[in-house]
Amino acid sequence: MSVNWVMLEPSSPQPFTPLPHEQTLYKSPTRTTFSLQSLNKFPGKEPVHWSASAGTLYLTNRRLVYLPSTTTPQLQSFAVPLLNTHDSHVVAPWIGPNVWTALVQPVQGGGIPGNIPALELKFAFKDGGAYDFHSGYERVKERLQQQVDVARQSGHLQGDGSEAGRGRGGDALAAVDVANVHLDDLPAYEESGSTIPVPQPQAAPMPAPVPRPAPASPESHAPEVFTPPAEPPPGYEQVQRETVEDELERRLSSGRIL
């Protein structure tokens, strides 16, 4: 991390001089604020603090670069290698813009007092873009860290890849070919026509179903027409006579016949 160490080119479409194989991946709106301050404010230690109310943040495949809209003698530019940033996250307050914050470790000769091991870095995105920036930052940092791990395991690099000196990048990543770090998303897998398909196990054939007779349709039968009988049923007159006699005897016994 360094303050006022970025080589500027105001007349160029990209207002700063890129490092070898450096590519700009994200550019924030110009109203992005900047804050860099020491963490511990112990008695006897004077805190340090740099800030800007507006400026542009750049994400590259190697570092973060911030250029304030209005420069001051104390702050003209800021840069930090990606692998010198830690514990980054986005804070979404109830009121105000989203804020991206991280802990950063300084580099030697970068304009930061040497007795400060880490500082707190904040970017407030007044015009949006905090989550887009954070997702791009996480992706490129992860892939850069993978290349560092490979170089360290092969014995070509010592340490974690964080830069320690000069403040202009390049020293700690000398063993890493940044140009070969894949920055785009991996393509979705598609089966190639030249590959040999793996035979799939075939299931045993199922027995053919036994045909069942179809149920008879109600429409296949002619509707039955009800015809009332022309004569009374057998015994109808006898049952009717016995019923009248029983009713007459019941009334006689009760004295209800007048």
Query: DSSP letters of 200-236?
Result: PPPPPPPPPPPP-PPPPPGGGSPPPPP---SSPPTTH
Cα torsion at 149, 147, 163, 73 (round to 10°)? -150
Is residue 222 predicted with pLDDT exceeding 70? no
Dig out the tokens for 244 from the structure: 């009248």
The residue whose two tokens read 């194989």 is 21
Mean pLDDT of the chain: 77
Is residue 26 predicted with pLDDT exceeding 80? yes
H or E, element range at 33: strand 32-38
Q: What is the mean pLDDT of residues 26-32?
A: 95
pLDDT band at 35 (very low <50, low <70, confident <90, very high): very high
Q: What are the angstrom distances between the C-alpha of 189 and each of 103, 151, 186? A: 37, 28, 9
Is residue 231 predicted with pLDDT exceeding 70? no
Is residue 58 predicted with pLDDT exceeding 80? yes
The residue whose two tokens read 């190639």 is 192
pLDDT at 196: 43
H or E, element range at 143: helix 130-153
- Does the model's pTM come out above 0.85? no
Cα torsion at 12, 18, 23, 27 (round to 10°)? -60
Dig out the tokens for 182 from the structure: 């894949």
Residues 6+ apart with CB under 8 A from 174: 157
Beta strands 55-60 and 24-27: pairing type?
A: antiparallel
Q: Whole-angstrom Cα distance, residue 61 to residue 184? A: 11
Q: Whole-angstrom Cα distance, residue 173 to residue 202? A: 54
pLDDT at 138: 96
Q: Whole-angstrom Cα distance, residue 238 to residue 253? A: 23
Q: What is the CATH number of domain 2-180?
A: 2.30.29.30
Q: Whole-angstrom Cα distance, residue 107 to residue 112? A: 8
Distance of CA 28 to the CA centre of its chain: 20
